[in-house]
Structure 1
Amino acid sequence: MSHEGSKGNVVGALETNTHDPAPVSSNAGNEVVEIVEGKVEKVSVSKHPEASIPQTELSLADIQRSQSHPVRWAVFFTALFLAIIAPYWIGRNLAVDHTARVMRVLGIFAPRGLAFVSWTVTVVLFATVALSIVEEHAWLWRVLMLFVLTVEQLMAGVCLLRFDFWHSTYVVYGERSALPDAVNLGIVAALFAVAVYAVLFVGLLIGVKRTSPLNVLTRSWAAFLMFFVIEVVALLIVLFGGLLAVV
């Protein structure tokens, strides 16, 4: 009886080791020796002798509050408001009070050149807006956005940009209104292209399945590429579509 009992204990121990592997020994690295299904194997394990994240008594809300920089944001929005209002007002005063000087500057360029310059400034403006949103911690893009916005608003003010700008430019600039009209057409073309891009992008997000090949257009690099393609098409329509001669 004692011999059979000992044999049963040995079999039970082997069955236990077969189903429930337990570590036998470990080395100094990140491997441990275990008995798996009756065989001795080395198994990789995670080993962190030191904490990778320092301990702190601050809560997540405290950390986010320390990174919010409310004074910096207040200065930014104040500068943004001034960049929208002040340059446009200065530009309109230049157009009304110093018309001859404005025309001497605009007269250096051809209408297509003026349209290209204003289109480029507006496209760069929206590109910096997008980058300031994507790179929310990089204030360089916000500073560039304020600078480009100031230039764009100054150009819009000098050229009296509004919904029916061709009437205002003709009243102020007379027969030479084609030059400020070209500037306005470049800005309007860029704005119209942004509107078309926004509609297409939202339509892709809503109407295209994730498994569709068109879903690649919603990725960041493809979205930027699509934006610039639409902008270039709008510019070509202005430059070679006869719009410069119409206004």
Structure 2
Amino acid sequence: MTSQRSDQKAADQNAADQKAADQNAADRPTPDLPEVKGPEGRLVPATDPRESHPREPSLAETERRRWNKTSWAVFIAALFVVIIVPYWGGRVLALNETESVISLIRPIDPHGMALISWTVTVVLATSLAMALMEARKVYWRVLFLIAFALEQLICGVGLLRLNFWNSTYVVYGDAAAPINASNIGVIGAAVGVAVFAVVYVGLLVCIRKDSPLNILTRSWSALTLFFVIEIIALLFVEFSGLSTLV
């Protein structure tokens, strides 16, 4: 009997607590919301837009959503092919089709060969930079692969290495001048890329963000600086006598 009375008392206490909580919630003031016209012209309370609309995604979330795994997988596979096949094919042509290569390059002046190889290397570096900055633009990656394949082919035909003069003379004999010039053009453009990288990193380190000289670190300024350095490298290659050195 005592147990039943205790249970009844506890139930009454819980009911009283619940009633008090409901009363407090009813007495709590509700924020006044402005009224706006609804779809039928009736006035309805305006809601907080943060509750009815999702938040704006962050830059990382946006880039993750735009990431196309298939296209990048194809690009990486094509890059491996471009690294190996054109260079190997160029060496095969140089060693097995030497006369055909000589007949093809003999009419070209060494200065012209240096200009061609320099242009291919500059396009390669430019397209690589643009592919990194504009990752969503597929055509920059395509241009990079084409330029890389051409450069690898030129390096393969030219037997490019640190001491390529001996190799080209053994393979091409007296007709090695245009081949040597093409190698010099590639090396000159590569040196220009290295000089630009050092200068640009130095500017980033030395120039403060609030300095007027910070404009030199902008993308268009950096691109202009890159082409200026590359043109200086081309002029050195063409007029220093390196392009005609056998």
Alignment TM-score, normalising by the size of structure 1: 0.74
How far apart, in 2, do the equivalents of 1:192 and 1:60 lie? 35
Equivalent pair of 2:181/2:244 in contact (CA under 8 Å): no
Per-residue CA deviation, residues 117-168 of structure 1 (Å, 9 max, x unaligned), is 1100110011000110111111110011111111111111111111111111
Aligned to 1:126: 125
Tell me if 1:73 matches 2:82: no
Deviations 1:202-238 (A, max 9, x none): 0011112234443221101100000000000000001
2:234 corresponds to: 235
Are residues 60 and 174 of structure 1, via their aligned partners in 2, closer, same or farther at CA, if it must alter by over 3 Å? closer
**Amino acid aligned to 1:146:** L
- 1:80-117: per-residue Cα shift (whole Å, max 9, x none)? 01101100000000000000110111112100000001
**SS of the residue aligned with 2:107?**
coil
Q: Does 1:107 align with 2:106?
A: yes
Give the secondary-structure state (helix, strand or coil) at the position aligned to 1:163.
coil
Distance change in 2, residues 1:59/1:72 (3 Å): same
Q: Following superposition of structure 1 onto structure 2, how do residues 20-39 of structure 1 map, counting pairs within 5 Å?
A: none
**1:141 maps to which residue?**
140
- In structure 2, what is the Cα distance between the partners aligned to 1:202 and 1:173? 41
Native 8 Å contact 2:87 2:153 kept in 1: yes
**In 2, distance between residues paired with 1:223 and 1:212?**
16
Residue 177 of structure 2 is matched in structure 1 by 178
Cα distance 1:204–1:169, how it changes in 2: closer, same or farther (>3 A)? Answer: same
Equivalent position of 1:190 in the other structure: 189
The Cα of 1:73 is off from its aligned counterpart by 1.4
Q: Which residue in 1 is equivalent to 2:224?
A: 225
Corresponding residue for 1:117? 116
- Separation (CA, whole Å) in 2 of partners of 1:178 and 1:59: 56
- AA of the residue aligned to 1:69: N
Cα distance change of structure 1 residues 227 and 60 upon mapping to structure 2, 3 Å threshold: closer
Determine which structure has more spread, i.e. the larger CA radius of gyration: 2
Tell me the distance in 2 between the aligned counterparts of 1:148 and 1:101. Answer: 23
Q: Give deviations 1:43-79, integer Å, cap 9, x for gaps.
A: xxxx99978x9649x9998865543222221111110
Cα pair distance change 1:62/1:228, threshold 3 Å: closer
Give structure 2 stretches of 5+ with no counterpart. Answer: 1-34, 38-45
Aligned-partner residue type, residue 122 of structure 2: V
Cα 1:62/1:105, change in 2 over 3 Å: same
Quote the offset at 1:169 in angstroms.
Answer: 0.6
| Letter matched to residue 192 of structure 2 | A
Alpha-carbon distance in structure 1 between the residues aligned to 2:63 and 2:225: 35
Partner Cα separation in structure 1 for residue 47 and residue 242 of structure 2: 68
In terms of fraction of residues, the more helix-rich structure is 2
Q: When you count strand as a share of all residues, which structure comes out higher?
A: 1
1:83 is the counterpart of 2:82: yes
Could you tell me the percent identity over the aligned residues? 47
* Cα 1:221/1:92, change in 2 over 3 Å: same
Structure 1 residue runs of 5 or longer lacking an equivalent are: 1-25, 29-46
Q: Which amino acid aligns with 1:230?
A: I
CA distance, structure 2, for counterparts of residue 65 and residue 194 of structure 1: 31
Conserved in 1, the CA contact under 8 Å of 2:185 and 2:243?
A: no
What is the root-mean-square deviation of aligned Cα atoms in Å?
A: 3.0
Alignment TM-score, normalising by the size of structure 2: 0.74
| Alpha-carbon distance in structure 2 between the residues aligned to 1:60 and 1:229 | 34
